[in-house]
Structure formats: C-alpha cells, structure tokens
Structure 1
Amino acid sequence: MPSLPPFTTRPEIKGTFGVVTTTHWLASSVAMAMLEKGGNAFDAAVAAGFVLQIVEPHLNGPGGEVPIIAMRHDDTAPRVICGQGVTPAGATAEHFAQLGLKTVPGTGLLPAVVPGAFGAWMRLLRDYGSMPLASVLEPAIDYAENGFPLLGRVVSSILPVAEFFKQEWPSSAEQWLVDGAAPRPDRLFRSPAIARTYRRILAEAMLAGPDREAQIERARATFYEGFVAEAVDAFYRKPLMDSTGERRAGLLTGEDMARWSASEEATVSADYAGYRVHKCGPWSQGPVFLQQLALLEDVDFTSFGPESAAFVHRVAESAKLAFADREAWYGDPAGAEVPLETLLSADYNAARRQLIGEQASLEMRPGLKGGDARIAAIMALAGSEPTIGPGGGEPTFAPLPEVEGDTVHLDIVDRFGNMVSATPSGGWLQSSPSVPGLGFSISTRAQMTWLTPGLASSLRPGVRPRTTLTPTLVTRDGKPCMALGSPGGDQQDQWSLTTFLRIVHYGYDLQRAIDAPQFQVRHFPASFHPRECVLGRVLIENRFSPAVLAALRDKGHDLAIQDEWALGRVCAVAVRDGMLHAGASARHMQGYAVGR
C-alpha cells in the first residue's frame, strides 16, 4: 500500500490552463480572472500588481517600485523590466553632509527616489500584454472605491503612528485614519483618493484614441509628466518630519520623474543542477542567489537531509560569503564598476568555497582586492545613526514587534507557457507622507545608499539604489520552468534559495518546499535604516528539531529562535510533467495560489 504524501498546509495547485500565486488572495483571484478573460500571464501580472498596491498598502503602493522578470513562451531568454527608480538629481552626498547626516534617513521626504512601479507595469503591459489598460486597472480601482477587507497587519502598521500622522503628516492621517483613529481590522476599507488618481489617469489615457499602445503611453506620460508628477513636486518642497527627528524638505522633483522611464535589460544568470537561474543585475541583491549556488556546487546534498544541521550550516555559511560581496561590490553599474563576471566565475567561487569550514564564521569576508577596506567603511556606519520618531526604514515602526516580510510578490504562468515573476515594494504607507490629492506615499529606497564616497552603493544622483527586491525565473533546456520569490528585505534570496534547493535536491513539490521550516542569517548590515548588523546571528523557526538546534549552536551559530511559521512568504509556480503547478506560503495567512 503506498504511503500517504507528507502533510502540507494546502495542496500544491495543478492545472493546464494557468496558475497564479501572490501574497494576497484577492490579487491571485484577480490575476486568474484576467487569464479566464483571455489575457496572458503578463496582463494578469499587471492587474495583480495594481491590486496588491491597494490591499497591501503597508508593503507596497502606487508610489513604489518593482523589478520584473518576464519570458514569453517562444523567447530565447527571459528579460528584466526594471521598475527601480533612480535617486533625484539633487541627492548628493554634499547635500546630506550640509544637513549633518551620516546616513540617509529611513522615512520622510529625503530618501525618496523616482517611483518606478507604474512605468514598469505600463512597459510590461505594452510590450508583453494583450489587454486594454482599462481592463487591468479596473479591479484595483474597484477595490479602492468600494472597499476591501483590511488586513490586521495593515492596522498594526497604522496604530503606532496614528498620533504621529495627525501631528506631523496630516495628509497620511486623512488617507489612513478613520474618524481620527486607526481603522479596524477585517472591516471594509476604502482608498478613494487612489481610486480618483487612477480614474483620472485612465481618463487621460482614453484621450489618446482607440489604440491600445497609445493609451498606455498616454497613461505613463500622465503619471511622470502630468498631474501626478506636479503633485509630487509641489508636496516635496515642504519640510516634514523624518526619522532624524527633524523636519526636512525632499529632493525629488517633477523633472526627476519626467527624465525617467522603465528600462529593459538582460538577466544575470548561472547554470545549476541542470537548470539556468535568472536574476536581476547587481543594482538588486539578485546575484547573491547565484553566488550562493556557485559556492554550494560541490555539496553532496544526498549525504544529509533538507532540515538537518548540515543543510542549515552549509547554506548559512555560503550566504555570509555572498552577502559580504554584495556589501562590498554591488551597485548600479551606471554609477559604479561592479566586477560581476569575476564574482560569478568558477575559479573565484572554488577559492571562496575553501573558506567554509565546520564552524560558523564570525567575520565579514568579501573577496577581491579592496573588499576589506570597503567593508570596514560600511561597518563603521552600520547602525551608527539612531532612529527618532517614525521608526526605521523598513515598513515597520519601533513600537511594533519585529516583522519579517516587507513587500509583496507574484508569479504567473499561463497555458501558452508565458511566465513572469515580480516583487513590487516601496511607497509603504508608514515610510513617507501621503501626497495630497494622490492618496499614496513615495518610495524611500535611497536609504539603501551610503553617504561615504567610493563605495559601489554610495549615494549618486540619477542612479538606482541597490535594492533588496529580487524575483527569480528558472529555465530548463531554454524554456521557462519555474518562477519564485518572497517578500522579506535582505532575506528574500535566502528564503527563495532554501526553497529552490529543497525542490531541486530533495524532490519536494512547491508547496512542501514552501511550508518547510525556514532560517536566515543576519551576518551583514541590513539594507534598511538604521542598518544594524549582528555577526553570526541566525534566525531560525522552532520547527527544527532540538537536536538540530543544539548541533548548530555547537558549530558556533548565534541562534535566535523564532515562532513556528515566522520566516518567509515564498510564492512559486512551475511547469513540469505536462502540467502547471503553484504554491503559496501559509505564513501571514494571506498568500494564495489558484489555477485550473
């Protein structure tokens, strides 16, 4: 008699028509509806992306950003659509020095960058999609106008800052408070100002005539050159409180927005175990996933289990080396020389692999000449400037318990084999004040730059800050076969990598791999203000056995035991065995996979 399959929190979704997974059930339902109406995976992604802005406003918004990896079924390789906006022309190290700042604030107006999400979704829809703009925007507008069930985590993000909003950010109080207080969870909540903004953009788009592409371009221009840019420009000239405890004006202007447009570029990729893994470039943290794979290439995973101390140790130690290189060398190639070819090379990683021993490393060890000096400069700044007032840079505030998972994610594959992976973020309702008349906040991604000159991720005007956002698309024999990703700041590529390894080496299906116990290292300066670092720290869910935890402590790991389902919000889709598959994390009790 065959044994029963392992228990999972929900079934792995299987179908042939199309499958969708996102971090919110409403976005997943909307994306599936687009497929049912005849749209392709890219139409569905755009519709889901706009809905996620409405229903997870504490984790992303219309003023945020998004990196997208997309592959048509007949493409020879996936492509990146970069929706990471650049720093303003006035964002110079000299300006911040005049303000007496050592690091870029985490909240307020100063850390703003050009909001790139709208432009990226428009480019995806225009070049890869097939449906009219009105069709993909209407679900988000409907939820904003008529209401959606408000997540308890949204309310938890508003509660600690309700008084702060009333005193310092009145436009946010108008947008997010109900009768002067935080809204109640699980009740219908409306965002009428955002609905009006999108309806006005849509009305402007219709003036371009019946041509679909002309409408999309008109909508893009309306956002970056029309009334949206004008409202942002006017609002950012007025000083408002930020995380330094001071009131400061912003640097973002309408001209900065008009100069920017979403770009398309090749992925960075590497072969592993018969797959080719595709990531965004070093303006993201994406290549750390590839560096970790290169460091793990010689590991015999069959010699230990997927939830063993040996598994955790090898993955954690590879992460420490890869992230040390991220800190030393990653940045926007438009503003810094990034030796990525060397960092991903076989010879380099063969030498780096020798640094992984049986005991946990308590050092930051970048490779290449000059790496140690860069790390020393960064470590001197990490956590050096205290946070005052509205919390740290990540979308959580000081009075809240630490929450892992700071953005949203989606993966979709349709019946044709078109596949897309995207990680929208930024414009969190807690991170910067809502722009009057628009109803949404602007990304504070510039906090991920350093004010020390000469680093790969130093603040430079007009370049992309190194983001944590990092979708993944995997090909096999030149065809898209898997897409996955997760919210979670610096943890995104750690959780996704662990999930990927369990699928590839242990035969886990998507849902089992997503449900499996998770862990992560904190062995590098956080990308979010105040950018603290805890060498040797490993956060680990308490579903790992006591014997595994004891073995890891014996190896010198500084374990911070987390709740059973605390870490990771991975989503994934795959194509195999003639079917489409999808899974979504049960953590936070809101992600959902759907398909038929």
Structure 2
Amino acid sequence: MFTTRPELVGDFGMVASTHWLASATGMSVLERGGNAADAAVAAGFVLQVVEPHLNGPGGDVPILLFDPEDEQVHVVCGQGTAPAAATGEALAALGLDIVPGTGFLPNVVPGSFGAWLLLLERWGTWSVRDVLEPAIHYADKGHPLLGRVSSALETVADMFRTHWPTSAATWLPGGRIPEAGSHFTNPVLAATYRRIVDESEAAGGTREQRIRAARDAWYKGFVADAIGTYCGGTEVMDTSGTPHRGLLTADDLAAWEPAVEEPVTFDYHGHTVCKTGPWGQGPVFLQQLALLEGYDLAAMGPGSADWVHTVIEAGKLAFADREAWYGDPRFTDVPLGDLLSRPYADERRQLITDTASLELRPGAPGGRAPRLPHYPDYPDGPATAGAGEPTVAAGAGEPTVAASGEVRGDTCHLDVADSGGMMISATPSGGWLQSSPTVPGLGFCLSTRGQMFWVEQGLPNSLRPGARPRTTLTPSFALRDGKPWLAFGTPGGDFQDQWTLHFFLNVVHGGMNLQEAVDFPEFHTTHMPNSFYPRDTHPGRILLEDRHDPAVVAELRRRGHLADTGDSWSLGHVSAVAREDGWLKAAANPRGMQGYAVGR
C-alpha cells in the first residue's frame, strides 16, 4: 500500500507530534540522555510556542503514560476547573443561557503547566531549566510562523485592534498581520519562562523541590497574580456581544492541583485500550469498541460501505451517551460500569439497522433515565435539527474541521517512546491566541474550555464551581496481550474519538502498519451536538475524503446518510508510536503538512 512516508522502525527512541520542531525537540532530549517524560515535557512546551492557535501555556492537557517501573498506565489530568464564582446563576444573571466561546467568562484554571511539571517531577530526570530552554529559544529567537497562524490572525486582527489591545500587542507586531514563514517571536512569554526558571533555581533543594517551586511560581506566585488582576479588573468583549469581567481569580489557581488517576479500560480482541475518565470524552472510544465487538469488521474491510456505515452508527449511539451521562465524576454519578458492560452493548447494538439514524438516542444504563441538555438550535428536540453550517464568531469554540471540510485548526498531539520502556500519549490544547485576550506581562492567553459546560443545571456537565468541563481531549494508549503496545491520538474536538478509532480499527482489523493506517482515507460524522460554542448539530451528516470509492459514497447515501466528500487529505491528524516485535515504531500525519515523526 502506498504511504506518504515510511513507518519509522528502530530501537532507541521515537517521537511523533503535530509539529516538526516539537518532534525534533523531543528526539534531541532522548539523544542527550533524557527519558520519554523529559522529552514529552520539552516538546510540549515547544508546541505552545510554535502552534499558538492550537494550544498555549494557559491551556489544558491530559496525558497517558506507561511506567515500566510499576508496569501500569497512569493518567495525568491537566484539565483545569471552573472558578469558584462560576455558577449557572451567575451567568443567568448576565442574561446568558450558554457559556460564551471567547473572552473571560469561559476561562478555567490553566492546567497544562501543572500537568507537564507533575509529569517531569514524578517520571522525568531533567530540571525545569532543561525542559524550558527549547521553548524559550523559539519564543525569544523566533520560529517560522505557520500559514494557519497567519490566517487565524487575519480573521481576528480587527477584533484585536478594537477590543483586545493586549492581544494586538503580542500577535500583531508593528500593528501588522505577520506573514506565513516570517520569523515570529514572543519575547514576553520568553521572559515569563525565564522568571519561572530563576525562581525554581533560587528555591534550591532537590530537583523535585525546584520543580515544585516552579509550579508554585505559576499557581501561587507572579503568574497567578497577573491572571487574577487582569481578569477581575478588565471588561473584554466576547461572543455574547457584550464586554464582561472574568470570574477566574488568583485563589482559584492556588486551590488547584494536577492529579494522577487510573485509566478507564476496555478489552477488545486481545487489546486493552486505556482512556481518561468521563471528565473527558475518552470512554466514548471504549463504548464504540463494545458495540463494534458484535460485528465481523475484518470481513467488511476498511473503507467499504458496510464498514463506514457500521462504525458511524455505533458512534452515534456512543456519543449520545456522552451527551446524557458524561461529566466530572467528582460532581455527578457517571454509570461507567453499565455503559461499558457487554449486556448494555448487546442491547444498544439492536438499534443499529441497515439505514442511517437521524436521532440522538442515549441509553438507560442500569435502568437510569437519560437527560439531555436543551439544545438552543432545536426547540423541538435534537432529532428534528437541520443540517446547515452555523455562522461562528471569530475565535469562538475550538477551531476544528468544519462539516464542510474547512480547516480552522484545533488542538495538538504528542507521542513518545524511549528504549527504557516508557511510552506517553498527550493531547495539549486550549489557551488559543484567538479565543481569550493575552494576559499583560505574561505573553499568553487563557483556556476557554468552560464553554463546554451547560448553564442549564441538573445535567452531568452543568457549570459548577471547581468542576472539570467534559472535555474532548482524549489521548489513547493500548496494550496487546497485556504488554505496552501503542500510544496514539489526534487533534480534532468531537472528531478525536472517531479518527483515532478508525486508525485503531485499520491496524487491528485491516492489518495495516501505523503509517498505512494514518494515511488511509478518513471520514467522520457531525451527527452529535458540537461540544463547543454555539453547540450546533447536523443529524445524519457524514464527511468523507474524496479518495473513497464513489460507489461507497453512493451506497451510504442510499442508506440515508447525508454524505458529502471533502478534499483528499483533509480529515484527521493522527500520530502514533508503538512497541512491537522488539522494535519501536512511529508514524505521523501528512494532512496539514506540519506533523512529523522522528526516531532511530
């Protein structure tokens, strides 16, 4: 099978990510004696600098890690929580029934920094200075600006100049939109990270104590103070059309800690797939596997009409359960045991027929009655919705791939494997330059992940102080016959647990190697409610890359799918590293022309 690049094979180390500079940084760490945790942290900080429209220092990151010492998979939760003042009543008092997609109101505690440093502290070997030096270099000396960053800035430049002057000062040097390929710098961010390094080293003590001092400088020191002062003392325009002050305070940052959790798992054809808890959408991947377990996918063959139809219909049922049941389990009872049980999957599988469903049909796990939010676009219920593309305010929501195929950017992804047995999958996001104004003196923006909450109360994902929004960020890890095998993931919002599922099935049932599975023609559905502002839905819509057989597309339409085709290489940005047959392997995505895998 033709592939756009080789599947990399070696035995020293592998790094794959959504940007070549991050991959090169991670590999350079391995070459200089660092382990996978050191490499992931250094590469993660570089991603913040070189992909600022997709993630930033003020964003979020969930991380899956296989530790060869205890032979366990761990989840590092870098998802920040809602501020103490963030309540449904507070937003309703402002006349809002939906959390805005931009500005201050959707801000949550920036969890990325804490999670990366916790990973470094517990599993790494390097210092804060070591892992931050590459990011400081690119922020201070410059990096080639991506065309997508320039395009994103063009869409928000007037808004920056009119309403967000701190963002204009950071992202529009000299008052102009920087051109693609130009030498772009962010000296304020470089200075922020230098101060973090200085405060870390001034604290003295062990490596771990210096790392904790750096984290304190962020969450209890000058970073938290700057964030609290700016959010509480400034009104900024957001997608509601009205300026608002923020709800996030320095006390909110001081009260937050990154956490290490056990993964949620499901056994499928000799593979144990590991995901985050239901504060992320990760278990929806596992629910799809439970439904698909009842089909002979290998006999259908990847890319066939039967394959696409079956996978899409299973996804519709799993994502409907996401809407009705997922949320932060510290605040809501998520019946994961029932949702992932085989009897429940057997019952739900009976809903899949030969024709496309146009309904949103959550189940009743354990006999519980599901409750769906009120979708603003659908006063008569989610099953009656139309399929048009909404008009979204510039910078709103997670910029991702629209149903039309238009690429607006999205998130990042990073995978690392070292020769010592450690493997990591991480999906950094949030803190996008176009969604919240740059904090003065810090050089970065805050996460607007709070837009994923519902103002409506009584739901699993209702806005609550201290709760994590039910995020779409969903790194993946799989063991084969109990041994660590595959770390993988993708950007893409609601599409993440579709594109990665297809990749996984291509390998498991299609017999493809990693690069073949990445390159294979991709598809997805926009049937489920969008997790981001303005929460639009397109029942029955599917989009396929036009490399699919036209006869397959025609058959899908005959079965009732509202099927469209997009550009040949437009959907999905999966990357992966694997450990099999005594080798390390890696693959990266050609789509977007910036992801890269390196290794030897």
TM-score grouping bracket, smaller chain normalisation: over 0.9
- The equivalent position to 1:170 in structure 2, one of 151, 165, 176, is 165
Please list, as runs of the form range in 1=range in 2, the aligned pairs for 1:497-516 lying within 5 A after superposition: 497-516=501-520
Q: Are the counterparts in 1 of residues 373 and 456 from structure 2 also a CA contact under 8 Å? A: no
- The equivalent position to 1:293 in structure 2, one of 283, 289, 292, is 289
Shift of 1:376: 5.5
Query: Is the alpha carbon distance of 1:373 and 1:405 closer, same or farther for their aligned partners in structure 2, counting shifts above 3 Å?
Result: same
Q: State how far apart, in whole Å, the 1-side matches of 2:406 and 2:532 are.
A: 13
Q: State how far apart, in whole Å, the 2-side matches of 1:210 and 1:192 are.
A: 29
- Are 1:20 and 2:15 matched, yes or no? yes
- The equivalent position to 1:438 in structure 2, one of 435, 442, 449, is 442
- Are 1:427 and 2:431 matched, yes or no? yes
Please list, as runs of the form range in 1=range in 2, the aligned pairs for 1:538-577 lying within 5 A after superposition: 538-577=542-581
Q: Quote the residue 2:354 is aligned against.
A: 358
Q: State how far apart, in whole Å, the 1-side matches of 2:64 and 2:425 are.
A: 5
Q: Are the counterparts in 2 of residues 83 and 262 from structure 1 also a CA contact under 8 Å? A: yes
Shift of 1:389: 5.2
Q: Could you list the per-position Cα deviations for residues 94-114 of structure 1 after superposition, in whole angstroms to 9, with x for gaps in the alignment?
A: 011111111000000000000
Q: Could you list the per-position Cα deviations for residues 417-440 of structure 1 after superposition, in whole angstroms to 9, with x for gaps in the alignment?
A: 110000000000001000000000
Shift of 1:401: 8.1
- The equivalent position to 2:102 in structure 1, one of 92, 107, 124, is 107
- Are 1:333 and 2:338 matched, yes or no? no
Q: Are the counterparts in 1 of residues 576 and 588 from structure 2 also a CA contact under 8 Å? A: yes
Q: Quote the residue 1:65 is aligned against.
A: 60
- The equivalent position to 1:211 in structure 2, one of 206, 209, 216, is 206
> Could you tell me which amino acid in structure 2 is paired with residue 217 of structure 1?
R
Larger mean Cα displacement after TM superposition, 83-92 or 473-482: 473-482
Q: State how far apart, in whole Å, the 1-side matches of 2:481 and 2:538 are.
A: 41
- Are 1:150 and 2:140 matched, yes or no? no
| Secondary structure at the counterpart of residue 39 of structure 2 | helix
| Secondary structure at the counterpart of residue 407 of structure 2 | coil
Shift of 1:390: 3.7
- The equivalent position to 1:367 in structure 2, one of 351, 360, 363, is 363
> Could you tell me which amino acid in structure 1 is paired with residue 10 of structure 2?
G
Q: Quote the residue 1:243 is aligned against.
A: 239
Q: Quote the residue 1:3 is aligned against.
A: none
Q: Quote the residue 2:396 is aligned against.
A: 392
| Secondary structure at the counterpart of residue 44 of structure 2 | helix
Q: Are the counterparts in 1 of residues 405 and 566 from structure 2 also a CA contact under 8 Å? A: no
Larger mean Cα displacement after TM superposition, 464-473 or 296-305: 296-305
| Secondary structure at the counterpart of residue 587 of structure 1 | coil
Q: Could you list the per-position Cα deviations for residues 352-405 of structure 1 after superposition, in whole angstroms to 9, with x for gaps in the alignment?
A: 011111111111110015655425567549899x9785442123799x983265
Q: Quote the residue 2:303 is aligned against.
A: 307
Q: Are the counterparts in 1 of residues 405 and 570 from structure 2 also a CA contact under 8 Å? A: no
> Could you tell me which amino acid in structure 2 is paired with residue 437 of structure 1?
G
Q: Are the counterparts in 1 of residues 405 and 543 from structure 2 also a CA contact under 8 Å? A: no
Shift of 1:568: 0.3
> Could you tell me which amino acid in structure 2 is paired with residue 552 of structure 1?
L
- The equivalent position to 1:343 in structure 2, one of 339, 357, 377, is 339
Q: State how far apart, in whole Å, the 1-side matches of 2:371 and 2:464 are.
A: 20
Q: State how far apart, in whole Å, the 2-side matches of 1:114 and 1:539 are.
A: 35
Q: Quote the residue 2:83 is aligned against.
A: 88
Extract unaligned runs of 5+ from structure 2.
none
> Could you tell me which amino acid in structure 1 is paired with residue 526 of structure 2?
R
Q: Are the counterparts in 2 of residues 12 and 511 from structure 1 also a CA contact under 8 Å? A: yes
Q: Could you list the per-position Cα deviations for residues 124-173 of structure 1 after superposition, in whole angstroms to 9, with x for gaps in the alignment?
A: 00001111111111000000000001000001110011111011000000
| Secondary structure at the counterpart of residue 506 of structure 1 | coil
Q: State how far apart, in whole Å, the 1-side matches of 2:319 and 2:103 are.
A: 28
Shift of 1:540: 1.1
Q: Quote the residue 1:488 is aligned against.
A: 492
Q: Are the counterparts in 2 of residues 404 and 488 from structure 1 also a CA contact under 8 Å? A: no
| Secondary structure at the counterpart of residue 72 of structure 2 | coil
Q: State how far apart, in whole Å, the 1-side matches of 2:371 and 2:12 are.
A: 53
> Could you tell me which amino acid in structure 1 is paired with residue 74 of structure 2?
R
- The equivalent position to 1:461 in structure 2, one of 460, 465, 469, is 465
Q: Quote the residue 1:527 is aligned against.
A: 531
Q: State how far apart, in whole Å, the 2-side matches of 1:270 and 1:115 are.
A: 30
Q: State how far apart, in whole Å, the 1-side matches of 2:507 and 2:401 are.
A: 35
Shift of 1:536: 0.4
Larger mean Cα displacement after TM superposition, 208-217 or 156-165: 208-217
- Are 1:183 and 2:187 matched, yes or no? no
Larger mean Cα displacement after TM superposition, 255-264 or 74-83: 74-83
Q: Could you list the per-position Cα deviations for residues 27-76 of structure 1 after superposition, in whole angstroms to 9, with x for gaps in the alignment?
A: 00000000001111111000000000000000000000000011112323
- The equivalent position to 1:77 in structure 2, one of 72, 75, 84, is 72
Q: Are the counterparts in 1 of residues 372 and 459 from structure 2 also a CA contact under 8 Å? A: yes
> Could you tell me which amino acid in structure 2 is paired with residue 329 of structure 1?
W
| Secondary structure at the counterpart of residue 563 of structure 2 | strand
Q: State how far apart, in whole Å, the 1-side matches of 2:549 and 2:21 are.
A: 35
Identity value in percent: 56
Q: State how far apart, in whole Å, the 1-side matches of 2:191 and 2:375 are.
A: 46
> Could you tell me which amino acid in structure 2 is paired with residue 205 of structure 1?
S
Q: Are the counterparts in 1 of residues 373 and 454 from structure 2 also a CA contact under 8 Å? A: no
Q: State how far apart, in whole Å, the 1-side matches of 2:2 and 2:429 are.
A: 32
| Secondary structure at the counterpart of residue 173 of structure 2 | coil
- The equivalent position to 1:135 in structure 2, one of 126, 130, 133, is 130
Q: Are the counterparts in 1 of residues 392 and 534 from structure 2 also a CA contact under 8 Å? A: no
Q: Are the counterparts in 1 of residues 325 and 370 from structure 2 also a CA contact under 8 Å? A: no
Q: Are the counterparts in 2 of residues 487 and 568 from structure 1 also a CA contact under 8 Å? A: yes
Query: Is the alpha carbon distance of 1:404 and 1:562 closer, same or farther for their aligned partners in structure 2, counting shifts above 3 Å?
Result: farther
Extract unaligned runs of 5+ from structure 1.
1-5
Q: State how far apart, in whole Å, the 1-side matches of 2:371 and 2:218 are.
A: 42
- Are 1:447 and 2:451 matched, yes or no? yes
Q: Are the counterparts in 2 of residues 109 and 250 from structure 1 also a CA contact under 8 Å? A: yes
Shift of 1:178: 2.1
Query: Is the alpha carbon distance of 1:527 and 1:95 closer, same or farther for their aligned partners in structure 2, counting shifts above 3 Å?
Result: same
Q: Quote the residue 2:256 is aligned against.
A: 260
Q: Are the counterparts in 1 of residues 373 and 459 from structure 2 also a CA contact under 8 Å? A: no
| Secondary structure at the counterpart of residue 594 of structure 1 | strand
Q: Are the counterparts in 1 of residues 271 and 482 from structure 2 also a CA contact under 8 Å? A: no
Q: Are the counterparts in 1 of residues 399 and 408 from structure 2 also a CA contact under 8 Å? A: no
Q: Are the counterparts in 1 of residues 156 and 395 from structure 2 also a CA contact under 8 Å? A: no
Shift of 1:343: 0.3
| Secondary structure at the counterpart of residue 264 of structure 1 | strand
Shift of 1:181: 1.4
Shift of 1:476: 2.3
Q: State how far apart, in whole Å, the 1-side matches of 2:211 and 2:395 are.
A: 37
Shift of 1:477: 3.4
Q: Are the counterparts in 1 of residues 527 and 537 from structure 2 also a CA contact under 8 Å? A: yes
Cα RMSD for the two superposed structures: 1.8
Please list, as runs of the form range in 1=range in 2, the aligned pairs for 1:399-418 lying within 5 A after superposition: 402-403=406-407, 405-418=409-422
User: Scaled by the length of structure 2, what TM-score is found?
Assistant: 0.96
